[in-house]
Structure 1
Amino acid sequence: MAEDCCSFQLISGDGVLNREGLENFSRTTNLSQRGVSYAVVAIMGPQSGGKSTLLNKLFQTDFRMMDAEDGRTQTTQGIWMAKAIGIEPFTVAIDVEGSDSRERGQGGATFEKQSAVFALAIADIVIINMWCHDIGREHAASRPLLKTVFEAMTRSFRSSKTSLLFVLRDQTMTPLELLQRLLIQDIERIWAAIAHADAHKKTHLDEFFNVEITALPSYELEEMKFTEQVARLRQRFFLSTSPGGLAGDRKDGQPASGLPLRAQQIWETIKKNKNLDLPPPQVLVATFRCEQIVKEKLSRLKLDEVYDKEAMNYEESIRNENRRKLEAKALKTATVMEVVRPAYAAMLQHLRSIALKSLQTRLERTVKEASGDGFEAAVDSCCQSRMRKFERGCEGYDSSLRCHHKTG
C-alpha cells in the first residue's frame, strides 16, 4: 500500500487557517516525534507555471495540477501542505497559490504578500518557480514576485538564512551558466531597490539568503528528460539540514512539535499586522506556549487536590478562605508577569544590541592587531568576554525582576 502524503488545505483562498486539518496532519504523520530533524519546503511562483507538478514529482505528493486542455486557470487556491514521501529528514511540502492570477485580479496583492511572508517565515527552503524566458525582462511575471519575496524577508526577522532555490522552467539552448549570471544580475538589482528604500541599505542579499539556481526542460515537450532531471534534483533534499545541505545553515531549528502552533501564530500575526512586521518565529511560539502553561498551572491550582487533602480536617470556612488567598496570590503573580515581561524583554534586547555592537568593534580591532597562531585564540577570547559581560547584565535584570515580584 502506497504511503499517504496526507495533503490538505492549510489556508483557504479567503485566508482562513485550517486548525483541525493541521492538528490531524501532525497526528497522522507523527510530526511531534521528529524533534529538530525535519525541514519545511515551500514553493512560490506565477500562476500556471507548474509549481504543483514540480512538487508532486519531487516529493511524490498529490497536489492538484493544472490540466492544459482546460486552459491556464488557477488550480491551487490558498496554501496547501503535505508530507514528502521517502525523504529524510522528514520534510513538509507547502504549495502556495500562484501569484498574478487573473481570478484574484488587482485585489490579490494583499493575499500574495501575506502568503509570501508566511512561506518565508516558516520554510527553511523556498523554491522560486519561474520561466526561463522571464530572465532579463523588465516586465517579466516573476519580477513582482521577487520584489514581494525580498520585501517579505526584510520583515520576517529570521535569525538564520533562508535558502532560495530558483528553478527555471522550459530551458532551451541557453547554457545554465549564462542563465545563472543573468538571473543573479536581476536579483541584485531588485534587492538593491528594496534595501535602499528599507532599513537595509548596507545589507547584502547573501546575509538573508543562500541562493541556488537550476533549470529544467519543458514538462509538456520533454517529459522523460524533465522527469530524469527532477529525480536528480530530488536527491538535494536528502539530508537537507546537514552541513552542506540546502538548509544546512539553519541555526534556529525549532522542535517539530511546535510547527502547528508556529504556523497558527505566524498566520494570525500576518492577518492582524498590516505592515507585515513579524517577530522571530521562536518568540511567537514561546510567548503563546508560555501563556498556555501559565493558564494550565493556574487551572491545576484551582483543582489542587493536595491542598484539599492536607486541609480537609480543618475548619471549612478558614480552609476555603486560605484557598482563595492562594489562588489570588498566584493570579497576582501572573498579572505582575504580564506587566513586567514587555519591559524585561525590551531590556534584554537593549543588552543584546549593546553586546553585538561591542563585539563587532572588538573583533574589528582584533582582526587588525592579531595575526598568525594567536588570531584564533584572540577571537575566541573576545567572544567569550563579550558573552560573559552580556550574561552579567542579564543577571542584573533577572534580580530586578525577582525584586519586583517580592515587593509586589
Structure 2
Amino acid sequence: MEEDCCATQLIYGDGQFNSSGLDRFVKEVKLAECGLSYAVVAIMGPQSSGKSTLLNHLFHTKFREMDAYSGRSQTTKGVWIAKCVGIEPCTIAMDLEGTDGRERGEDDTTFEKQSALFALAVSDIVLINMWCHDIGREQAANKPLLKTVFQVMMSLIQPPPRFEYLEPVLREDIQKIWDGVPKPQAHKSTPFSDFFSVEEEVAQLRQRFFHSISPGGLAGDRRGVVPATGFSFSAQQIWKVFKENKDPGSSRSQGYGCYCSV
C-alpha cells in the first residue's frame, strides 16, 4: 500500500497557525515515536518557480502544483507540510508560499520574511529555488529576502557550525549581499562560507536526504534538536514570535544552523 504523505496546511495565508492540523499531522505520521531521529527540509523561492513540483519529484509528496493552462497565479498559500515518502529517517517537507507574488503586492513583504525566518528556525535544511535566467536580478533572485536571512543569522549569539567548503554558485551576487550586511566586530572578517554552504546540482539531491542527520549528512552537524514530541509546540511558539514582530529583518531570532541549497 502506498505511503500517505499527509499534506497539511500549517500556516494559512492570513498568518493563522493551524495548531489542530499540525497535531493531527504529528499523530498520522507517528512523529512522536521518532525521538531525535527526524529532519525538516523547507523550500523557498519566487512564486511559480516550481517549488512544489520539485518537492513532489524529490520526496513523492503531493503538494498542489500550478496548472499552466489555467494561467500563472498563486498556488501555494501560506505554509504547507508533508511527510517525505520513502526517506529515512522520517523527513518533513515544508512548502512556503512563493515570494514576489502579485497577490500580496510589491510592498507587502512581511509574510514572506516571517515565513522565511520561521522555516530557517525550524528546518535542518533549506532549499532556495529559482530559475537560471533570474540570476543577477533583484527581486526574482530573492536578494532582499536573502539579505534578511543573513542579517538574522548574524544576530544569533552563537554562529552555526562551520562547513568545510562552499560550492561557487551565484558567488558574485551573494557575496555583495553578504558584504553589505552589518556584522558584530568579532565577525567583521568572517567569510560567507563559514555560515552557509550553497550547492547547485539537484539531480542527485534525493539520495542525499537518506540518512541526512547521520555524521557527514546534509544535516549531520545540526545543533539544538527539538525532540519530536515537542515539535508541534516549538513550531507554534516560533511562529508566534515572528508573527508578532512587525519588522522581521531587525529581530533577534533563536534558530538552528541549516544547510542551504540553491
TM-score tier by shorter-chain length is: 0.7 to 0.9
Shift of 1:254: 2.0
Shift of 1:210: 2.6
Contact 2:152 2:252 (8 Å CA) reproduced = no
Report the structure number with the largest CA radius of gyration: 1
The one of 202, 208, 222 aligned to 1:236: 208
Structure number having the greater helix percentage: 1
Shift of 1:150: 2.0
Contact 2:10 2:18 (8 Å CA) reproduced = yes
Q: Where does residue 174 of structure 2 map in the other structure? A: 187
After TM superposition, the structure 1 = structure 2 runs for residues 131-142 of structure 1, keeping only pairs within 5 Å, are 131-137=131-137, 140-142=140-142
Secondary structure of the equivalent of 1:211?
coil
Q: Where does residue 272 of structure 1 map in the other structure? A: 244
Shift of 1:198: 9.9
Contact 1:120 1:162 (8 Å CA) reproduced = no
Shift of 1:208: 2.5
Q: Where does residue 3 of structure 1 map in the other structure? A: 3
Shift of 1:138: 5.4
Shift of 1:2: 1.4
Q: Residues 13-53 of structure 1: CA distance to partner in whole angstroms, max 9, x if unpaired? A: 00000000011111111111101111100000000000000
Contact 1:44 1:128 (8 Å CA) reproduced = yes
Q: What letter matches 1:237 in structure 2?
A: F
Shift of 1:188: 1.3
How many residues align structurally? 252
Q: Distance in 2 between matches of 1:84 and 1:158?
A: 31
Contact 1:79 1:97 (8 Å CA) reproduced = yes
Q: What letter matches 2:119 in structure 1?
A: A
Q: What TM-score, normalized by structure 1, do the two folds share?
A: 0.57
Shift of 1:281: 5.3
Shift of 1:197: 9.6
Q: Which has the higher contact order (CA 8 A, sep 6+)?
A: 2
Q: 1:281 to 1:70 in 2, by over 3 A?
A: same
Secondary structure of the equivalent of 1:119?
helix
The one of 179, 197, 207 aligned to 2:194: 207
Shift of 1:268: 0.5
Shift of 1:162: 10
Contact 1:52 1:95 (8 Å CA) reproduced = yes
> Which structure 1 segments of 5+ residues have no match?
167-179, 216-228, 283-408
Shift of 1:140: 4.5
Q: Where does residue 126 of structure 1 map in the other structure? A: 126
After TM superposition, the structure 1 = structure 2 runs for residues 5-404 of structure 1, keeping only pairs within 5 Å, are 5-137=5-137, 140-155=140-155, 160-161=160-161, 181=168, 183-195=170-182, 201-214=188-201, 229=203, 232-276=204-248, 277-280=251-254
Contact 1:120 1:152 (8 Å CA) reproduced = no
Q: Where does residue 260 of structure 2 map in the other structure? A: none
Q: Distance in 2 between matches of 1:161 and 1:98?
A: 28
Secondary structure of the equivalent of 1:9?
strand
Q: Distance in 1 between matches of 2:37 and 2:209?
A: 13
Identity %, equivalent residues: 56
Q: 1:64 to 1:102 in 2, by over 3 A?
A: same
Shift of 1:90: 0.6
Shift of 1:273: 2.4
Q: 1:197 to 1:67 in 2, by over 3 A?
A: farther
Q: Distance in 2 between matches of 1:201 and 1:259?
A: 35
Q: What TM-score, normalized by structure 2, do the two folds share?
A: 0.87
Q: What letter matches 1:44 in structure 2?
A: M
